[in-house]
Structures are given as structure tokens and as C-alpha cells.
Chains A and B, each alone.
Chain A
Amino acid sequence: MTHPSGILPKIPPGLRLAFATAILAVVWLVVLPSIGRYPAVERHVRLMESRDVNPSAMVYTELEHLPLRPAWIERHLVLWPTGN
């Protein structure tokens, strides 16, 4: 093994991993689903779902709808049109 941790030196490595995994499991399987049921969070999620928004998109290609020049912007503003 390399890159040993100095955070919890007296606990055996396997136990450290089990402990960290248990914390993550509780957060993801219990805490986050509970937070998801809060009215404000639920409203936000519902709004995003209803509008087909993917807020975790890293770049525009991951969005549900490709952003294209809005129709209400006058054509003369665009130096050349893209796609049809």
C-alpha cells in the first residue's frame, strides 16, 4: 500500500473505509432523500423537471434542449445563421 492516511492513524485501514462508506451510505440513502421531501426543495426539483432542465450539465451539449438563437431576437443581430 502507498499513500497511507494520517487522519485516523490508530484505526485499521479496513475499518476506516467501512466507517467512511457507512457515513456516505447514510447521507445518500437517508439524509438526501429526506431533504428531497422538503417543500422548497421539492418545488425546485418539480420546476426543473417540468421544464426539462438538467442543472448538472457541465457544458451546453449536456442540456436537454440545445440553446439556439431565440426566435424573438431579430435576424439582423446574427452575423450568420446556424442550422435551420
Chain B
Amino acid sequence: MATDPGADVRRRGFHEDSAAILIGVALVALALAIGWSTRPTGDAASRKAFPKGWPNRLSATIDKPQTWSDAPQQALVVVDKKDKTKVKPVSIPILLGMTWVVGILAAGTLLRGRSLAAVLPGACLLALLGGLAYLMAAQKVINYYNLEYPLWALLVGLVIGNTIGVARWLEPALQGEFLIKTGLVVFGAEVLFSRLLELGLPGLLTSWVVTPIVLVVTYLFGVHWLKIPSKSLCMVIAADMSVCGVSAAIATGAACKAKKEELSLAIGLSLLFTVAMMVVMPPFIQWAGIDPIVGGAWLGGTIDATGAVVAAGEMLGKNLDDKRPAEVAATVKMIQNSMIGIIAFAVAVYWAGWVDRDAAGPKTSLVAEAWRRFPKFILGFIGTSIVCSWLFTMSPELALLVDGAINGFTSRLRGWLFCVGFICMGLQTNFRELAPTLASGRPLILYCGGQVLNLVLSLAMASLTFGWLFRQGVTP
């Protein structure tokens, strides 16, 4: 009987999702362990002394290119904000950031029982391309108008893939899904359920009532009304528009196994509308005479990207000489950020149990069938989120430990993993598959229709909660 030598190797290796969970959890644990072992001795519980958490030594091993205006080499130094003559080079942490990506790809390859030698050259090139995408995103105009790095990572991949194509030696390293799944497990540490009540009931109502309604209605609108053939495209667009842009698109896209082209399209739509809304909404709020706190909550509930929400809040606040809109906007958006885990989990369960279910297949129980199809890495994402949320609520010291690990290491690492993941996606994206759907204009109609609903419901809820029900509590 003939044997397949590859089958033996496959049996020995972990599944992609298991490898992503193992590596992601190990990295979060490493960051927490290093943060704890080097914890400060004095004022260890003071948020004032450590506004972004305890310093984490791993922060010296990872960074990304800084904003630059005229010459790209400006991206390799951090200029002190108070004393512009003081500069700190970041070339080595940037190189080390690339090394983390290569290391994670190598570890994933070994865990999955594949050939390391075949992956390493491609992994190095992908890490360099990730650095290039970050450099493009760091240009000042691009950076300050919220055109985030995934867009440029996709562009870099698309340009190479559609000009010279992908060399055969690069193919084994194209593990975009593995990188994004590992990035999502690491990202779980940032999705802290305990932040959900930061603004109390008004913030919670604005985020939790409106977001799920808009998500579900937009998805149903796309599937049943617009009759877009791909349900996963409808879900990714609905999630990035109603929750919090690119990060929600990545999480739900992985949960519903969306195609690379669909995720790219949803991210492109989201970023373009984000720029427009960031510029247009603050003057509109002022012109319409909407209360600044209600306006801030409205911005937080509707603009997709977190950074753009804060920028719009600051623009509104500057015009009105009021800091409150930016504070409320940022906090409402943070509450939405904290919902990603729950939404990704719900989407994964719905997809595994209902959408992907094969009616003609063997009759098994719904639970068994759903479990078989369930994207297991979501458990790693939810797991790191639950553990870090629990630690965060245990004591002020542990909250600072978690914040330090996130700000000093895991959020930067997650950024690199997503960035290189998107390079891989760009290299493998074939937009011709989406051409018929794109030509129909239906994804654009879906986004616009959902966003109109989001704008109306968010304004109504923000007015009800921040403007009326809890008015006394939110008036200084």
C-alpha cells in the first residue's frame, strides 16, 4: 500500500488554530510575567504615576516607524515632545519587531510540522515589507487623516502580486491567516470586558443597544434585501461599520471565514468613510447645535476607527472650547472596542451552527456540527480577553500590570502580526473574483444604508441617555 509521506508530517503537527492559540497565549503570558517580575516598588498602585501601566521591559524589543513629514528617515527616531533637540533612535526596536514576526512564523511552522528552511527566506521578506507598509502609514498626512496601516499593507501586497506575481520560494511563508489568528489571540488581552462600564449606563446603552441592532439589521439588509451572494461579505461590512472598523472587520472576518478579497473590500470602504465622517461630523454637530456631550457620544458610536473618533472629538471640542466631547467620544468607542470579543464569538457560533451547516450532509446534533466547524482560535481570543479582564478587576496593581503589558508589548506585536498578515492577503488577493459584486455597487449601498441607520439610532440613543435620562450626572 502506498503511503503519503506528507500525511505523517501533517499528523505530527498542530492545527493552524491550535498553533495560533499556543503562540498567542505564550506571548501574552510572557508579557505579563516580565511585567510582574520587574514591577515598580513605590507607587505601584497609582494610576497617576503610571498612566499607561507599569513599564514593561519587552517594550524595548518592539516598535514601529514614527510619523514623518518630508523624509522617510525621520521615521527612525522619536523626537521628545517637550525638547525637540532630544531624539531617540528606534531603528533597533523596529528591526526587533520584524524579528518577532519572523520568529512567530518560524514557531508556527515548527508547531504545524512543516519545513522551517522553506519558510524563513519568505518570512524575512514579508517582515521587511511589513516595515515598508508601516513606513507608508507613518507619513504625517496619511497618519493624521486615519488611513491605517492595513490599507498600505494590502496595497504593497497587491502591487507586488499584480506586477511580478509571487515567487515560488515565497509561497510557504504566505501564512496570512495564521498571523491574523495569532494576532487576534494576542489582541484578546486588549479587549477588556471590565472597561465596558467605564461610562456607566449612558455609555453602555449607547454602545450595547445600538451596535447589535445595527449589526444584525445591516447583515439582514445585505443578505435578504440587496441579495448579496456572499453572507460573509455582508457580515464583515456590517461589523466594521457598526462596531469599530478595521479591528472588528478582522475579528469577525476570521470568525465567519470571510475571503481575503471581502475583508480587503470592507476595510477599504470603512477607512474611506471614516476619513469623510471625521472631517464632516464635528462642524455638522456644531452647525446643528447638538449638545457637545451628546455630539461626543454620537461621534463615538458612529465613526468606525478609534483614532478618528478621538480626532473628531478634539476638533469638535476645539471649536466649542470644550474637552468633554473628546472624552465622551473616546470612552464610548472604547466600550465598543470591548465588545469585539463577544461579537466575534457570537458570529463564530452563528456561522458554525447555521450558515455553514450542510443540509444535505449526515444528520448530527447541532452542537456537534457547530463544534466541528467552529474556528477554535476564537477560544484563544476569548480566553486571553477573560483572563486579562479578570486580572484587571482584581486590584489596581494588576490593572496597571495588564495595561503595561498591553501598551508596552502586546498591542505593538499585534500590529506587526496584522500588518504582515495583510501583506500576505494583498499578495494573494484576486479582486476579479469580487468584480461582479463590486460592479453592482451593492457593498457600497450596504455600507451607506447601515451607516445611515447607525447615525440615526446612535443620535437618538445618545440624546436619550446623555441628553435626558442621565443629564444631571454628566453635567459638570
Residues of A within 8 A of B (CB): 1-8, 13-14, 16-17, 19-21, 24, 28-29, 32-33, 35-36, 41, 44-45, 47-48, 51-63, 65-70, 72-74, 76-80, 82-84
Contact = CB atoms under 8 A, between A and B. Distances in A.
Interface in B68-84: 69-70, 72, 81
9 contacts: A3-B430, A47-B318, A48-B144, A53-B307, A56-B149, A60-B337, A67-B334, A68-B198, A68-B331
Interface of B: 45-47, 51-52, 69-70, 72, 81, 136-137, 139-149, 155, 159-168, 171, 187, 190, 194-195, 197-202, 244-247, 278, 305-308, 310-311, 314-315, 318, 324, 326-328, 330-331, 333-334, 337, 392-393, 396, 399-400, 403, 406-407, 411, 415, 427-428, 430, 432, 470, 472-474, 476
Contacts of A36: 69-70, 140-141
A77 B472 CA distance: 10
Given A5-B163, A51-B314, A57-B307, A78 B198 contact: yes
Contacts, number: 205
Given A16-B163, A82-B393, 18 more contacts: A3-B430, A4-B165, A7-B162, A17-B163, A33-B70, A48-B311, A51-B314, A55-B308, A56-B147, A58-B148, A60-B195, A61-B411, A62-B415, A67-B331, A72-B476, A73-B200, A78-B199, A83-B400
Given A2-B168, A56-B307, A45 B144 contact: yes
Given A13-B165, A56-B307, A59-B411, A69 B331 contact: yes
Among B194, B306, B334, B396, chain A packs the most CB atoms within 10 A around the CB of B306
Question: SS class of chain B's interface: helix, strand, loop or mixed?
Answer: helix
A44 B330 CA distance: 18
B384 to A, nearest CB: 13
A35 B141 contact: yes
A45 B252 CA distance: 32
- Which 10 residue pairs spanning A and B have beta carbons closest together? A77-B200, A57-B307, A67-B330, A16-B163, A72-B476, A55-B311, A5-B162, A1-B165, A17-B163, A60-B334
A17 to B, nearest CB: 4
Contacts of B52: 66
A2 B306 contact: no
A71 B315 CA distance: 21
Contacts of A53: 307, 310-311, 314
B51 A66 contact: yes
Contacts of B331: 67-70
Among B244, B307, B407, chain A packs the most CB atoms within 10 A around the CB of B307
B198 A82 contact: yes
Nearest to A48: B144
Contacts of B166: 1-3
B199 A69 contact: yes
Contact of B314 (A5, A21, A47, A80): A47
B307 A54 contact: yes
A33 B476 CA distance: 42
Contacts of B148: 56, 58
A83 B72 CA distance: 39
A82 B45 CA distance: 12
A66 B407 CA distance: 10
B324 A32 contact: no
B431 to A, nearest CB: 10
A32 B142 contact: yes
Nearest to A29: B72
Contact of A77 (B245, B327, B406, B470): B470
A76 B333 CA distance: 21
B328 A20 contact: no
Contacts of B396: 83-84
